[in-house]
Every structure is written in C-alpha cells, then in structure tokens.
Amino acid sequence: MKISGNIPAKERKKGNTNPYLQEGLIPSIIYGGKADPVMIAVDKIQLKKRFEEGGFYSKIFEVEIGDKKEAVIVKSIQRNKVKHNPIHIDFQRVDEKTRITISVPIEFLDQELSPGLKQGGVLNVVRREIELSCLANNIPEKFVISLEDKDIGDDIRLSAITLDESMKPTIVGRDFMLATIQAPKVEKEPEPEESEGTEEKTDESSENTEVKKEEEKAAE
C-alpha cells in the first residue's frame, strides 16, 4: 500500500475546538475498520503542503499521533462559511483490503496533436474526475487520456480508460461522456442598420416632389 506522506497530529478531547484552531491545528477524527474512532488535531501547515501536492482526495496518508501511525484517506473537509479555511477533517482508516470510494482526476494530453484542436476546435470537458470504488492498495493517482487523432465532433467516453478489474465506477451500465471536441463558434456578422440621414433625405425628396407637382398644376 503506497503511502504518499505523513501528517503530524495529536490526540484531543471532545468539546470546544476553538483552542485547537487558535493553536494552528485542525480538529479531526479517524474512523473505520475494527478500531474505535480517534479524535485528533492535525498540523495545519503540514496539511496545506499535502493539499498543494495535488491528488489530495485520492492518496493514502500516514497520520502520526505520537508513536502511533494510522494509514488514512481524506473523506471530507468542513470549511468556515466566511473564510473558507478548514475547521474539521474526517479521515477514514484503511488497510490493503479496504474498499474505498474516491474521485480520481482526469488529465487530457497531446492537445497539440489533435487535428480538431488544430483547426480551432474547442475541448469541452464534461467530467474532470471519475468517482470509483477500488481497493486501498490499488488507488490510481490519475487517469491520462491522449487527444492524438481526435477530430471535431469526436467524443471521449469512459471506455477510453482501461480500468483494473478491482476498479468499479460508481455510475454503472453507461459509457458516459468525459469530453468532446467542439467546432469553433462562428459569430454572425450584424446586419447593417439603415441610416437615419438617408430616411430623412428620402422624406425630404418626396416632400419637394409633391410641392413641385402642386406648383406645376397651379401654373396651368
């Protein structure tokens, strides 16, 4: 089972979490498996480093609580409604036999080799990640899809990805869409507006014609 890094933590007591937040720690809990839940507080700076590495929700981390270590994945993060900073984290305890549900990011490569994109087409990404069930010892970091030879009108579906037998998409029975190569949008040129000056000139010309006819009639 691949461990992607460690997260320092310490045990905490149930109750008011503000003192931990003021100390630069994030109140959290570890649950799952046959062991009892453990209430902890994790180091905010170390957690931020792990988050910035990418693939945060599809990696296994080792939470260090003193001399004890727990292999976990991040299940959810609760954030402050105003500042949006983390205020609580749920970790799920895992081992090699644990089946988990995670979201794996999709990366589209070789865009410069796509005939459709070369012609000015646009890559319309429908899904940027795939939610699937897999074993904790077989978590894909990401799925890579090549756009080589993809032309305008082509679509990329789930079948473009080779999944291991232990990996099962949570959406079953459908070869769902991941992306399409769309034709470039052609903006319609606006129709020329009639000039107000021309209309005024036409009206004036008509008026002069009528006056001329009346003068000719009077002279007869």
Classify 33 in phi/psi space as left (phi over 0), alpha (psi -120 to 50) or beta.
Answer: left
- Can you give the pLDDT at residue 193? 65
Name the percent of the chain in helix, strand, coil, to the closest 5.
Answer: 25, 35, 40
- Can you give the pLDDT at residue 158? 95
- Can you give the pLDDT at residue 217? 52
- Can you give the pLDDT at residue 51? 86
C-alpha distances out from residue 14 to 2, 29, 34, 67, 140, Å? 32, 10, 21, 21, 35
- Domain made up of 101-182: CATH architecture: Beta Complex (2.170)
Per-10-residue mean pLDDT for the chain, 220 residues long?
88 89 93 92 89 85 92 92 91 91 92 94 95 91 93 95 92 93 79 57 50 51
- Can you give the pLDDT at residue 202? 47
Q: Does pTM surpass 0.85?
A: no
- Can you give the pLDDT at residue 115? 95
Q: φ and ψ at 97, to 5 degrees?
A: -95, 0
Q: Which fold would CATH assign to domain 6-95?
A: Ribosomal Protein L25; Chain P (2.40.240)
- Can you give the pLDDT at residue 112? 94
Domain residue spans of the chain: 6-95, 101-182
